[in-house]
Structure 1
Amino acid sequence: MITKNLAGIGMTSQRTRSRLIQRLRDKGIISEQVLSVMERTPRHIFIDEALSHRAYEDSSLPIGMGQTISQPYIVARMTELLVMSGKMNDVLEVGTGCGYQTSILAGVSRRVYTIERIKPLQKQAIKRFKALNLHNVTYQHGDGYLGWADQAPFDAIIVTAAPEQVPAPLIEQLAIGGRMVIPVTSANGDQQLHLLEKSDEGISSMKVEDVKFVPLLGGIVE
């Protein structure tokens, strides 16, 4: 069913996708590599069929299990921050979710390692990866707080849920010269997107913009 629906019609057509890409340009996304991958990725297959007519709105949407598919602008912004700041050979994603951000990363990097704590979401995401013939995605059902030590170090890490502080294992698993983009929840409940870079001297951090993500939780759900 997913494979048959890849092209999309009407509100899920290629023309509708292209209009979304223009809106992303208007909002300041400049990486043609990121925009090109997003234009050819069928976002409608990552959400419930009942919501497919909203797939190319620039908004987040529910995907079940209390999780959401991120707003396209945020997907583009987070990906662009990594693409334009360094190497994208080995990339870790914390929070596979529906697999949309993973699929965008797969188009701009050599290898994506993605962790999801909620098994039913991961199963659905894997079906989508297969439908899209993504051969450079490796997945794990696990606790994203712990990262993926066996595959470290990573050139880039992207976290798609917001902790109250950056998990130490993720910092440890960054390569020298590596970058991490992560939303962080402050004491007053506000969230800001941070770009971290790791050098021989330590970690530097830059606040990028205000965001709104679901919280990053530990443990796993079968």
Structure 2
Amino acid sequence: MTLPLNTSANPNDPIAQARYNMIEQQIRPWNVLDADVLDLLAVARREEFVPPAYSSMAFMDIEVPLLGNAEEAVQAGHSMLQPRVEARVLQDLAIKPTDRVLEIGAGSGYMAALLAARAQSVVSLEIVPELAEMARENLLSAGVQNAEVRLADGSQGASDGPFDVIVLSGSVAEVPTALLSQLRDGGRLGAIVGNEPVMRFTLVRRSGDRFETTSPWDTTAPRLVNFPEPSSFTF
């Protein structure tokens, strides 16, 4: 699968310049140095996965809102992750051409498009009907044929596992055991775990019945819904 390329070589093209600045000023300084990932971000048309009302935000270092009022959309998690977070997650998961990938939280479909450019196939689950439809339309317009968006509650994963890679495009309080069981032997799960003000990207690798966990970097992200939260009850 190949994403449509931005073939403009015009240095005066404001979109091309904004994309270049995003990569050089936000993404590369955040230790995203994988040449394949950087090349992909240089041609993936992020602006086409952003609602027209927020097109000016496409390359900003923010969570771009996707539905309705901007502040409410971000608070509800109806937003795209920051470009540097998307890029670092993609790099750390080390997607292979033979990988079957499950994404939780399709959003606008942009992360699914990036994953699909490197994987064999992608299944992306989205619980919000409007976002599921947005993601489908964006992926279709981008010519992505190996990513499927399903309207579903992602907290229990998909019924047609196992998967080589599972990625959560949002945060959870703890690594979901229900999703770990859907990892193939040798598979990887990536999730942003914890509570504000500091969360950590957590990478889990499966080896037989063992799970090796590392948490290489800090960030924050909106919550994915229907995943367990720790009890707030105190004596």
Using the TM superposition, name which of 170-179 and 49-58 deviates more. Answer: 49-58
Per-residue CA distance 1:171-205 (angstroms, 9 max, x = gap): 0000111001101124x763211011000241111
Matched, 1:96 2:98: no
Matched, 1:214 2:225: no
Q: How many pairs were matched up?
A: 211
Check conservation: 1:7, 1:42, Cα contact below 8 A. no
Please state whether the residue corresponding to 1:56 is helix, strand or coil: coil
Per-residue CA distance 1:105-157 (angstroms, 9 max, x = gap): 1111110110000010110111110111000001211111111121x111111
Identity among equivalent positions (%) equals 25
Deviation at 1:11, TM superposition (A): 7.7
RMSD: 2.3
Check conservation: 2:201, 2:216, Cα contact below 8 A. yes
Give the letter for the 2:34 counterpart.
S
Check conservation: 1:94, 1:115, Cα contact below 8 A. yes
Structure 2 alignment gaps of length 5 or more = 1-5, 68-72, 228-235
Give the letter for the 2:106 counterpart.
T
Change (3 A) 1:201 1:123: closer
Q: Map 1:51-200 onto structure 2 (within 5 A).
A: 51-64=54-67, 65=73, 66=76, 67-83=78-94, 89-150=99-160, 152-186=161-195, 190-200=198-208
Check conservation: 1:12, 1:55, Cα contact below 8 A. no
Deviation at 1:20, TM superposition (A): 1.6
Check conservation: 1:114, 1:137, Cα contact below 8 A. yes
Matched, 1:202 2:210: yes
Select the residue among 43, 46, 56 that pairs with 1:43: 46
Check conservation: 1:7, 1:13, Cα contact below 8 A. no
Check conservation: 2:104, 2:125, Cα contact below 8 A. yes
Aligned position for 1:13: 15
Please state whether the residue corresponding to 2:205 is helix, strand or coil: strand
Per-residue CA distance 1:64-100 (angstroms, 9 max, x = gap): 253111111000000100117x675101100001111
Matches of 1:175 and 1:40, distance apart in 2: 31
Matches of 2:80 and 2:14, distance apart in 1: 16
Matches of 1:201 and 1:218, distance apart in 2: 26
TM-score (norm 1): 0.86
TM-score (norm 2): 0.82
In the TM superposition, structure 1's runs of 4+ consecutive aligned residues that sit over 4 Å from their partners are 6-12
Matches of 2:16 and 2:102, distance apart in 1: 29
Matches of 1:139 and 1:63, distance apart in 2: 16
Change (3 A) 1:60 1:7: farther
Matches of 1:46 and 1:12, distance apart in 2: 17
Structure 1 alignment gaps of length 5 or more = 1-5
Please state whether the residue corresponding to 1:135 is helix, strand or coil: coil
